[in-house]
A and B are shown apart, each in its own frame.
Chain A
Amino acid sequence: MNFPVLSVITFTPIVAALVILLLPAQRKNEARAVALASATFALILSIWVYFAYDQTAAGYQFVEKYSWLPALGIALHFGVDGMSTPLVLLTGVVMFTGVLISWGDDDKHVMAGIQDRPREFFAFLFLLAGGVFGVFVSLDLFMLFFFYEIAVFPMYLLIAIWGWVQTREYAAMKLTLYLFVGSVVSLVGVLVMYWQQYQNTGVLSFDMLQMEKAGFSQAFQNIWFLPVFLGFAVLGGIWPFHNWSPDGHVAAPTAVSMFHAGVLMKLGAFAALRVGIMLLPQGAQTWSWLIMAFAAIAVVYGAYIAFVQPDLKYMIGFSSVSHMGLVMLGFSTLNQQGLTGAGVQMFSHGVMTALFFAVTGMIYDRSHTRQIPELGGMSKVMPFAAIGFIIGGLVSMGMPGFSGFVAEFPIFMGVWGSRWLVAVIASISIIITAAYIMRNIRQVFFGEIPEKLAGHVGDITVLDKVAIVTLCVLMVGLGLFPGLMVPMVETGVQNILRLLGGA
C-alpha cells in the first residue's frame, strides 16, 4: 500500500486543529464545519483501513517508516494489527459522533452542544484525537509516548475551560496529576528497557518490533513489568488507580467525556498491553495474578459503586471502571479467549460509553440536572435518546445479541481457563449492573416528567440522532454478527500469544 493512510489518519485531526485555530473567533459555524469535515474524513479512512486490513495475512499492515532521529533510534514507524485496527475505527467513530453532538445551535434557546468558543474547543479536541490515533498506530515506543502525552495534555484544558462549573478545576488537576505520574513511571520503565536492550544487543532503537527480540532476562522483566504496566493502566482506570476517572468524566463536557471514557481509557489499556505485556511477556506471566486481582476488584467494586450513585454521570463513570476492569481481566488471563474478549470489549465499551455520555449530555443540556431522582419521563420528550440509552444499557448488562455479550463471554471463558474462582466472583457484577441499569432507565426515561422540567425540556436535534444511530448500529451489528470483528482481533491475539509462548 503506497498511500500513507495511517499517517494521514493521524495527522488529519492535528492539521484540522491548526486550520480551525486560524479561523476568526466569531465564525463559529465555520469552525464546526471544518471539524465535521475532517472528522468525517478520518472516519472514512478508518473504516477503509478496517475493511482493507487483510485478516488472512495478519501481522502489522499499512506499515510506514520515516527516519526521525536516527542517532537515538527513533523513527516515525506506523502500522496496525488485529488489536489496534478496531481501536482506530473506534476513535474515528467517537470523533465523528463527538463533533455531531457538540455542534450546538446558537439560534435556539436550548443550550445544547458547545456554545462557548467552539473554535478553541474543537482545536483542542482534535489535538487530542490526533494523539489517540498516534498511540494506536505507533510501532515506535518513543512515538507512542509522544502521542500519549499529546492525547493527555489537551484534556486538562478541555475540562478546566468547558467543564462542569462546580468541579472542573479540581477534576482537571486531579486527572492530569494522576495521568502524568502514571506516565512518568512508565517512561522510566521504558527508558530502562531501551538501555537494557542496548546492553543486550548493542542496538539503540525504540522500535517495538526490535525490542520484542531484546531478550530481557526473567529477573529484569519481573522488576519492570509492574511499573510499566500499571503506569499505563492508570489511564485504563485500573483499581486502585481509578480514582481520577469518574471525577474526570463528570467534570468534562459531553464530547470530552465521550472521548475520555470511549477512547482515552482504551489508550491506557492498549499501551499497557503493547508495552507491558508484549515487551515484557515473562513479567506478565509472573504478575498476572496481581493484575487479575486488581481487575476483579475493579469489576465488582465499580459495579457496586455505580449502583449507589445518584448522579447519572457518576453512575456511568463507575460503570466504566467496572467494564474496563473486564478488559484488564481479559489481559490478565494471558490466553486466547481472554485476550480476544478484551480486544472486543475495548471496542464495545468505547462505543457504549460514548453513547451513554452523549445521551446524558443531551439530557443535562436540556434539564440542567443529572440527579437521577430529579429526572423522569424523558422518553416522552426524547424517545430517540431513550432508545439509544436502553440499547447502551443492554450492552452494558452483557445482554446477548449486543456487543457487550460478545466481548464479555470470551473474557469469562478465558478466566475459567486460568483461575476459575475469579470468574465466579466477577460474575456478581453482571447482576449488579443489570439492577442499576434497569432501575436508572426506568427512573430517568419513564414515569411522569417532574413538574420542574415539564414544558421546557425538548427533543434532541437531528445531528444528535445521527450520532445515536451510528453508535447503536455498531453495537447491535457486532452483537448479532461477532464474525465482523472477532477474527480480526484473534489475529492480533495470535501475535501476543506467540510472544508469551516464545519468550
Chain B
Amino acid sequence: MDYINTHLLSTTLFFPLLAGFLMLFLPKDEAKLHKWFALGASLVPLVLSLVAWFNFRPSQAGYQFEEMYAWYAAIGSSLHLGVDGLSLSMVLLTTLLTPIAILASFGINDRTKAYMMLFLFLETGMLGVFMAIDLLIFFVFWEIGLVPMYFLINQWGSANRNYASLKFMIYTMGGSLGLLLAVQLLGVLFKTYDLQVITEQWSTYTAAIGGIPASTFKAVAFWAFVIAFAVKVPLWPFHTWLPDAHTEAPTAGSMILAGVLLKLGAYGFLRLVLPLYPDEAKYFAGALAFLAVAAIVFGAFGSYAQTDFKRLVAYSSVNHMGFVVLGIAAAAFAVGTNDARIALNGAILQMFNHGLSAAGMFFLVGVIYERTHTRNLDDFGGLFPLVPVYGGILIFTSMASLGLPGLNGFISEFLVVRGAFGVGVNSVSVMTVYTAVSMLGLLFTGAYILKGIKKVLHGPMNEQWAHGEHKLTEINAREVIVMIPLMALILWIGLYPAWILNVINRAVVMLF
C-alpha cells in the first residue's frame, strides 16, 4: 500500500498503458476475453482516481500527490505529475468515461484486440495531459493522444472515415504547431519546463527576444497557445474538423472524443493560457468572448440544421463548449473578482457536465444506429411506443444537455452566464452584450434538442421499424448499465452540486 500512496498518480497514469501492452500477449481471436480484460483494466484507474478524490484535501494550496522523475535532463524536462482541484475533476471524468466507453463498445467484433489496446493507450494519453505539471510532458501527452484516436476513427469508423480521421489529425497537429514552437521558446528562455517556474517567470517577462519586444512576442505566443487549444475545444471558426470526426468515429470513440478530448482544450486554457498570459488574456478577452459567443450561437444554429442525428449531437458540443470558453474569457477580463470566480466555477463544472451528457448522447445515437443502420432523422419518427425505455433515457439525457433545472447542465450554464453577466455589469460592459447574445444560442439549444427528440421519438411512426426483419429492439441490459452511472451523476450534480463544486471552487479561488 505504501507504494500506491507514493506513486498514486503514476500508477493511475501508466496502468492502462501497461495493460494495453499486456493485451499483446492475449490470444488473437478471443474477442470476449479482450473486452473483459480491457474493461477490468480500465476499472483500476477509476478506483485509483477515486482514492485520490477522497484523499484529496481541497483546502490545501498547490498540487497534491506530486511525483517527479528524471526524464529529459538535457533540456530541463522531468516527468512531474500532480493534481489540483481543477485537474483532479478532469482525471475523474477521464477514468469514469473510459470504462463506460469500453463497455459501450462490447458490440465491436472486428479486431477487438487492437481496438481495446488503442482505447487503453488513449486513456494514458488523456490522463497525462491532466496530470502533467511540466510543460513538455503536457505537450508529449497532448500529441500522443492523437495517435490512438486517429486509428480508432480510421479503422473502426463509418463510410467517410479516411477523410475525417486525416482531417482530425492534421487539424489538431497543425493547430499545435504554434504551441510546439512557443513551448520550445519557453524552454530556451528558462532552461526548464517546470510549469511552476515558467509560470512565475513568463507572466512577468519583459526582456526583448531576438531584437523584438517581449510584448509582441508574448502576444504572438499567446495566440499560438490559444489556437492550439481553440482547435481542440473547438472554438468557432476552428471547429470544422469536429462534426466530421464525431460523425465518422465509432460510438465509443465519439463518447471519448466529446467527453474528454474536447476538455483537453479547455483545460489548456485554464492551466496554461490564463496563468502564463494574464495580461494578454485580459487584453484579448474580448476577442475570445466573441469567438465563444459565435461558437454558442453558430453551434446551436448548425445543430438545428442537421438531418443526421450524430451530426446534430456533434454540433451541440460546439454550442456547449462555447459556454466553457465564455466563462474563461469573462474571467480573463476580471481576474480576482467574485464574478470571475463564479464564471470559472461554471466553466469547469460545464466541462465535467458536458463530458457526461455528450458521452451519453453519443452513446444513445450509437444504440439506435446499431439497430437501424441509419442516422438520418427523417428515417425515424414515432419510435417511443416501440422502445419506451430507450425513449425515456434519451429524453432524460437530452434534457440534461438542454439545461433543464434539476439536471447538471443547468447549474453550470447558469454559473457561467451569471459570472459573465456579472463581469459585464461590474467591470467590462461589453460582456453584457456577449452574454445577452449567447442567450440566443441557449434558445436554439432548446430548439435543436427538442427537434432531435421529436424527429426520433414522436410524430407519426415510421412503420418500417415496427415489424418484420427491421423490427426495432429495445435497449438491452448492457446498454442500460452504460447509461446508469452517467444518468446518476447527471441527476446528482443537478440536485446537489456542492460535492464537486466545493473542490472546483477552492481550486479556482487559489488559482485565480
Contacts and interface: CB of A to CB of B under 8 A. Distances in A.
Contact of B180 (A401, A420, A430): A430
Interface string A424-467: 10011011001100110010001000000000000000000000
B181 A409 contact: no
Nearest to A397: B173
A413 B170 contact: no
B71 A434 contact: no
Given A412-B181, A427-B180, A430-B177, A446 B155 contact: yes
- Interface of chain B, helix or strand or loop or mixed? helix
A412 B184 contact: yes
A438 B166 CA distance: 7
A400 B139 contact: yes
A430 B179 CA distance: 13
A405 B140 contact: yes
A482 interface: yes
Interface stretch (A130-138, A145-153, A364-372, A483-491): A483-491
A474 interface: no
Interface in B66-113: 70-75
A55 to B, nearest CB: 12
Contacts of A427: 177, 180-181
B468 interface: no
B365 interface: no
B184 A431 contact: no
A423 B162 CA distance: 31
Contacts of A337: 74-75, 188
Interface stretch (B143-151, B346-354, B382-390): B143-151
Nearest to A437: B169
Interface in B125-165: 136, 139-141, 143-144, 147, 150, 154-155, 162
A340 B185 CA distance: 17
B180 to A, nearest CB: 7
B170 A409 contact: no
Interface residues of B, number: 31
Identify which of B136, B141, B170, B184 gathers the most chain A CB atoms within 10 Å of its CB. B184
A306 B210 CA distance: 33
Interface string A407-425: 0011011001100100110
Nearest to A406: B72
A161 B412 CA distance: 72
A346 B147 CA distance: 24
Contacts of A487: 73-74
Nearest to B136: A409
B72 A486 contact: yes
A399 interface: yes
B170 A442 contact: no
Given A400-B140, A435-B166, A435-B170, 11 more contacts: A400-B139, A416-B185, A417-B188, A420-B209, A427-B181, A442-B162, A446-B155, A482-B71, A482-B72, A483-B72, A486-B74
Interface of A: 337, 340, 394, 399-401, 405-406, 409-410, 412-413, 416-417, 420, 423-424, 427-428, 430-431, 434-435, 438-439, 442, 446, 482-483, 486-487, 490
Interface of B: 70-75, 136, 139-141, 143-144, 147, 150, 154-155, 162, 166, 169-170, 173-174, 177, 180-181, 184-185, 187-188, 209-210
16 contacts: A337-B75, A394-B147, A399-B147, A410-B74, A417-B188, A420-B209, A423-B181, A424-B181, A427-B181, A430-B173, A431-B174, A434-B170, A438-B150, A446-B154, A446-B155, A490-B74
- 10 tightest A-B contacts by CB? A400-B140, A416-B188, A486-B74, A482-B72, A401-B144, A413-B184, A400-B143, A412-B184, A417-B188, A431-B174
